[in-house]
Amino acid sequence: MLKQYKVWDAPTRVFHWVNFVSVILLILVGTLMLYKKDLGIVSLDAKIAIKELHVVIGYVFVLNLMIRLIWGFIGNRFARWSAILPGAGFGNTVSAYIASIRRGEPQQFLGHNPLGRLAVVFMMLLLMSQAVTGLIRAGTDVYYPPFGSIFAAQVAADGVDPATIKPYDKTGTDATKYKALKEFKHIYGEVHYYTFFVLLAMILLHIFVVVRAEITEGEGLVSAMFSGRKILSKEPEDIHDGTR
């Protein structure tokens, strides 16, 4: 007996697909940055232009992420952090879900299943890390907002207008301050770089799991992110939950 439920509200769906497209573009441009030498991109102007393109896409990504973080407090009950973040009794919920999979009768949920909730939380943390470290590096590398003017003012030599400081050009900078900024920015680049690979692995896992669930369990997880509606064959475990 199949029953259809309205689950994902429009802002959650818009977030999901804007996030999907912007992250894919960031991955593509980021990969271009990583392998620029192998791809024959050697001119400084081209390197800076690619970085600037990455940052501009990054702004769309960050804005979308910030809206989603806020929507988690005002959206419908499935969009809320209270339904996603693990709370009291979560361990039992996970065990019951895993046991139901082992029995070959997986429990069904209107919102995310318990393992999906863990995956969402982990991916959100990775995305937030990329957002923060990316914005800092946008400031230190190409002097772009929101921190660029602060970093330009930090490296400018005495009496030099920070607005005249150009990326990858030491003209007008103070050598000691320039070196200090280089040391400061290093760790953010490292975190951005390693998080990229973890995120990539999570994205591949996420796509594999939802497509597999769509095919084998017929819950319509992928289609639900377009239509907002899930089609379930049994009573969902979270049907009576106000918040979880």
For the chain, what is the HEC assignment?
CCEEEECCCHHHHHHHHHHHHHHHHHHHHHHHHHCCCCCCCCCHHHHHHHHHHHHHHHHHHHHHHHHHHHHHHHCCCCCCHHHHCCCCCHHHHHHHHHHHHHCCCCCCCCCCCHHHHHHHHHHHHHHHHHHHHHHHHHHHHHCCCCCHHHHHHHHECCCCCHHHCCCCCCCCECHHHHHHHHHHHHHHHHHHHHHHHHHHHHHHHHHHHHHHHHHHCCCCHHHHHHHCEEEECCCCCCCCCCCC
User: Nearest approach, Cβ of 27 to ligand HEM (angstroms)?
Assistant: 5
Q: Considering the complex, what minimum distance in angstroms separates the CB of residue 202 from ligand HEM?
A: 11
Answer yes or no whether residue 151 interacts with ligand HEM by CB under 6 A: no
Binding region for ligand HEM (CB under 6 A) out of 41-49, 73-81, 96-104, 190-198 = 190-198
| 181 near ligand HEM (CB under 6 A) | no
**CB nearest ligand HEM: which residue?**
134
Site string for ligand HEM, 48-87 (x = CB under 6 A): ---x--xx--xx-xx-------------------------
Q: Which is nearer to ligand HEM, 26 or 152 (CB)?
A: 26
- Measure the CA–CA gap between 94 and 72, rounded to whole angstroms: 22
Residues 13-42 that bind ligand HEM (CB under 6 A): 23, 26-27, 30-31, 33-34
Using CB under 6 A, pick the residue from 193, 194, 208, 226 that binds ligand HEM.
193
Least Å distance, CB 172 to ligand HEM, is 21
Q: Are 85 and 243 in contact (CB under 8 A)?
A: no
- Residue closer to ligand HEM (CB basis): 62 or 221: 62
C-beta of 114: minimal distance to ligand HEM in Å?
25
Q: How far apart are CA 23 and CA 123, in angstroms?
A: 12
Assess 137 for contact with ligand HEM (CB under 6 A).
yes
Residues within the interface to ligand HEM (CB under 6 A): 23, 26-27, 30-31, 33-34, 51, 54-55, 58-59, 61-62, 127, 130-131, 134-135, 137-138, 141, 189, 192-193, 196, 199
